[in-house]
């Protein structure tokens, strides 16, 4: 997790509303206009259905209470406005209580194409539509409860599971591959690269493999794991994931598929 940030989150008022500036709303408008056409034929149907339910505005940053109404009605979740960075303990605590952390800032134009910190566009556009889906919501809730009880060492392994599912997961849909990972769906470059490029590896998902795979946050992913179906997230949530963590620790990590000298692998 990034230890420093140049961003300052906006504070909601007593109704949970944020007075976003015209420039901040314009950044959202331009990000939305660029990304929405890219995902229409690439995102999984569960995500697209969630987008319909949320009715995210095109011309300004949505207010979290409006998102909460839809999430609560469908899966009992809601958002939680948080600072730009939170620690793993707080992250897991929120997920365990069916609260999805949303950093209340939006990227600047200098980092329009990429930033390491998850901003409100990444969290809301990338993740919140799938929180309307019971399988995704159940998996995320289970993940939060496991992480809340896990040791510091085990949380590092769990972070890899999250990375290769919630953030950068692909899923089979008939004969096609679709995207469900929010890290892909909020990135125009990775949205195209993940499905269309012949550079990355794409392999069937297993819990053990995901737990053993190093990743970097500052590159296009060299490997994506593919779920056999979206509802397989239910099956994963019902597994004894911590036993798989122990197996992953005994097996050790796979060799990294990237330059480990440039940045320490996670």
pLDDT in tens, 32-91: 999 999 999 999 999 999 999 999 999 999 999 999 999 999 999 999 999 878 999 999
Q: Which two tokens stand for residue 162?
A: 């999250």
201-204, strands of its sheet edge to edge: 176-179, 170-173, 223-227, 201-204
Q: Catalytic one among 9, 186, 187, 194?
A: 186
Whether the model pTM is above 0.85: yes
Identify the three-state secondary structure at position 255: coil
Annotate 16-34 with b (16+ C-beta within 10 A) or e (fewer).
eebebeeebebbbeebbee
Which residues, in sequence order, are CB contacts of 263 under 8 Å at separation 6+? 216, 218
> Of these residues, 24, 117, 167, 190, which one is catalytic?
167
What is the mean pLDDT of the segment spanning 92-97? Answer: 98
Contacts of 193 (CB under 8 A, 6+ apart): 199, 200, 220
Instruction: Render pLDDT for 219-260 as a digit per residue (tens, 0 to 9).
Output: 999 999 999 999 999 999 999 999 999 999 999 999 999 987
Indicate if 138 belongs to the active site.
no
Known binding residue 23? Answer is no
User: For this structure, is 127 an active site residue?
Assistant: yes
Q: Examine the residue annotation and report whether 186 is marked as an active-site residue of this protein.
A: yes
pLDDT digits (tens, 9 = 90+) for 127-143: 999 999 999 999 999 99
* pLDDT-based confidence at residue 3 (cuts at 50, 70, 90): low
Q: The domain 20-249: what is its CATH number?
A: 1.10.800.10
Backbone angles phi, psi at 189, to 5 degrees: -65, -45
Q: Which of 24, 117, 127, 190 is catalytic?
A: 127
251 assigned to a ligand binding site: no
Q: Is 40 annotated as a binding residue?
A: no
Task: From the candidates 9, 24, 117, 122, give the one annotated as an active-site residue.
Answer: 122
Active site residue 194: no
């Amino acid at each position: 997790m990034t230890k420093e940030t140049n961003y300052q989150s906006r504070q909601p008022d007593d109704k949970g509303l944020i007075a976003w500036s015209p420039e901040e709303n314009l950044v959202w408008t331009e990000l939305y206009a660029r990304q929405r056409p890219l995902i229409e034929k690439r995102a999984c149907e569960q995500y697209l259905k969630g987008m319909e339910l949320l009715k995210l505005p095109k011309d300004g940053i949505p207010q979290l209470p409006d998102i909460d109404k839809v999430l609560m009605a469908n899966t009992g979740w809601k958002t939680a406005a948080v600072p730009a960075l939170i620690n793993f303990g707080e992250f897991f605590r929120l997920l365990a209580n069916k609260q999805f952390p949303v950093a209340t800032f939006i990227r600047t134009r200098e980092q329009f194409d990429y930033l390491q910190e998850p901003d409100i566009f990444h969290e809301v556009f990338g993740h919140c539509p799938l929180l309307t889906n019971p399988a995704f919501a159940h998996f995320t809730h289970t993940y939060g409860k496991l992480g809340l009880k896990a040791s510091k060492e085990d949380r590092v392994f769990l972070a890899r599971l999250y990375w290769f599912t919630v953030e950068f997961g692909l899923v089979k849909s008939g004969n096609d591959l679709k995207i469900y990972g929010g890290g892909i769906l909020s990135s125009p470059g990775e949205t195209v690269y993940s499905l269309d490029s012949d550079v990355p590896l794409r392999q069937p998902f297993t819990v053990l493999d995901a737990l053993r795979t190093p990743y970097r946050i500052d590159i296009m992913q060299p490997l994506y794991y593919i779920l056999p179906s979206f509802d397989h997230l239910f099956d994963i949530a019902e597994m004894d994931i911590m036993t798989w963590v122990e197996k992953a620790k005994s097996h050790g990590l796979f060799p990294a598929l990237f330059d480990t000298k440039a940045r320490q692998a996670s």
